[in-house]
Amino acid sequence: MGDKAWIYYLAGGLLLALVIGAIVLFFLHRKYAPQHFKRSSWRKLYRLVEDQDWYLLNNVVIKTESDSLHISHLLVGDKFVYVISTRYYEDDLRGDSFLANKWQVVDKRGAVLREVSNPVFFNERRTMCLAKFLGWNPNKSPMFISIVVINNSSEASITDPTISPYSYLIHKKDLCKLIRKIERETNCSPFNQESLEKLIPRLHRLSVENSKEENSEE
């Protein structure tokens, strides 16, 4: 067999290996990207609260009188309590408004792939339930912020961009910057020490108690 034939076989083998490797990497990415996104979001928040001396709870389950609230991250800053939901999407999002129950997942060409629950609407509702459960009412100053974090590769196109002033949909890369901006620029008084000494132990106790209850039921 000539030298050229060996070169052709070698080149073909390398090309096949590259194709197989690309396919394997593609499926590994699809499988593990959501987990990596959630872990990296947690790490960003952990570094933020460590730097600012704030308080963070992850994977919180709080049972109210009427509902069971599953919260990805609950962050207590100087001025607000942030109810943070992390959502990974392989493609883009499209919706009529931030008040709609359903949005669509679409590919880069705009073709509809499936419907999903509107994460902003449901996190706002979750935030309001938690606020009322902890004693907040509309006569008091706002102290709860709803944030939905999506992966940087996903874009959201919403026809009506009107959104609550205490609700946000952002990319992961902007998460910590947003929270710092809210805390720095909002013209309201920080939590006093007495309020924090009541709020933080209660959140921690509710989270721990419900986690134990869920584990005992498994």
* pLDDT at site 68: 85
Residues of the chain with pLDDT under 70: 1-13, 15-32, 208-218
What contacts 61, CB < 8 A, 6 or more positions away? 68, 69, 70, 71, 207, 210, 211, 214
What pLDDT does 42 receive?
Answer: 93
Instruction: Read off the amino acid at residue 63.
Output: K
* pLDDT score, position 133: 87
Q: What span, in angstroms and rounded, lies between the C-alpha atoms of 153 and 173?
A: 10
Domains of the chain, residue spans: 38-217
Tell me the per-residue pLDDT of 50-65, one tens digit each, with 9 for 90 and over.
999 999 999 888 887 7
pLDDT of res. 214: 44
Spatial neighbors of 191 by CB under 8 A, at least 6 apart, are 76, 78, 79, 143, 199
pLDDT of 87 reads 96
Give pLDDT, residue 62: 86
What does the longest C-alpha to C-alpha distance in the chain come to? 88
- Residue 216 confidence (pLDDT): 39
Quote the CA–CA distance of 148 and 41 in Å, as a whole number.
Answer: 11
Q: What backbone torsions phi and psi does residue 50 show, to the nearest 5 degrees? A: -65, -40
| The predicted structure's pLDDT at residue 213 | 45
CATH 3.40.1350 fits 38-217, yes or no: yes
